[in-house]
Amino acid sequence: MDEDQVAALTGLRDLIAEVIQDMKDNDEEIPVPFSVRKYSGSIRVRVSPEKHRDLTIAAADQGVSLNRYLTERLASC
C-alpha cells in the first residue's frame, strides 16, 4: 500500500480495472456491486429447534414478536 492516500486509491482503482478486464477477457460474469443490488428485506435463516425456542422465549420475555426481536438484535451488530 502506498504512503500517499491518493496514490493508494489510484492503485486500487487500477487494480480493480485490471481484474474486471481479465474477467471480461475470460467471459466471466462481473458481479453487481452490493450498493446497487435490489434487496427484498426478507432473510431466511435456519437454526436448530433449540435455538428457535430460545429466541422465541427471549422475544416473548421482551413482549415483541420473534421477527422484531431478531431485527433489533441484527441492528445492534
Is the pLDDT at 1 greater than 70? The verdict is no
Q: pLDDT per residue over 4-59, tens digit each? A: 899 889 999 999 999 999 999 999 999 999 999 999 999 999 999 999 999 999 99
Give the chain's end-to-end CA distance (angstroms, integer): 29
> From CA 53, how far away is CA 6, in angstroms rounded?
52
Name the band, by pLDDT with cuts 50, 70 and 90, for residue 3. confident
pLDDT at res. 29: 96
| pTM summary value | 0.58
How many residues in total does the chain contain?
Answer: 77
The CA–CA distances, whole Å, from 71 to 34, 43, 57, 59, 62 equal: 20, 10, 15, 11, 13
